[in-house]
Structure 1
Amino acid sequence: MSDRLDTVFAALADPTRRRILSMLLEDDMAVSDVAEPFEMSLAAISKHLAILTRAGLISQDRHGRVKWCKLEPDALREASVWMQGFGQFEPVNLDAFERFLAQELPEGPDRG
């Protein structure tokens, strides 16, 4: 379990990846739609998506020629359970997590 948690927390450490998770809270998205608001190459976004996929935070499925990304909250639940062991954290509430991400990320078209 420790390696899995290390992977999840390493994935969450990057602000771009946290922003991607926030976007996927709204709905599943095509990779091209995930990449659109960022000022980086599609290849760079694909690397971030691969890290999130390896951590189990998202899944990617191909539908025809389009690759779709979907939030997978189970990895967050495992991290939440681990944090509960310290007695000061509650289980991950995805609505609260979305509010946290919204506070962490400044608004505007140039964020990312």
Structure 2
Amino acid sequence: MKRSLSDIQYKEDTEKLARFAKALGHPTRIAILKHLENQSCCFTGELVDVLPLAQSTISQHLKELKNAGLIQGELKPPKIKYCINQENWSKAKQLFDDLFNGSNSFEKVKC
């Protein structure tokens, strides 16, 4: 059976949504994203000043957000500057909106 382009897009979108949802599955990561949304960018040390966590813990959460593609980091030795990946952030918003508002792209699975 040949898969259609819409089936392939459905699979890609659901995988992206799951990856974004997993990254958003921790309150600290949500706090980091909220902070970054109000800044053009920031360094890890700034997040340590804002959040009551150790730098190593914040770094681990930044790694998860970066792996999901929601943020990006730019090396500014000896620091890393983080900002929201605007393209993926927009895509995440669109996918969550489609999910919560019953878009056709998520109506393919019948129970």
1:3 aligned partner, one-letter code: E
35-44 or 15-24: bigger deviation: 35-44
TM-score by length of 1: 0.68
Distance in 2 separating the partners of 1:60 and 1:75:
14
SS in 1 for 2:63: helix
How many residues were matched structurally?
Answer: 90
For structure 2, which runs of at least 5 residues remain unmatched after alignment?
A: 1-11, 103-111
C-alpha displacement of 1:72: 1.2
**2:44 alignment partner, one of 31, 41, 58:** 31
Distance in 2 separating the partners of 1:62 and 1:79:
25
Aligned 8 A contact 1:61 1:69 in 2: yes
2:53 aligned partner, one-letter code: M
Aligned 8 A contact 1:8 1:75 in 2: no
Distance in 2 separating the partners of 1:71 and 1:11:
13
Higher helix share: 2
C-alpha displacement of 1:81: 2.9
SS in 1 for 2:75: strand
Distance in 2 separating the partners of 1:86 and 1:39:
33
Structure number with greater Rg is: 2
C-alpha displacement of 1:57: 0.8
Q: Which residue of 2 aligns with 1:17?
A: 29
Distance in 2 separating the partners of 1:32 and 1:68:
10
Distance in 1 separating the partners of 2:57 and 2:100:
38
Between the two structures, name the one with larger relative contact order (CA 8 Å, sep ≥ 6): 1
Aligned-pair Cα RMSD in Å = 2.2
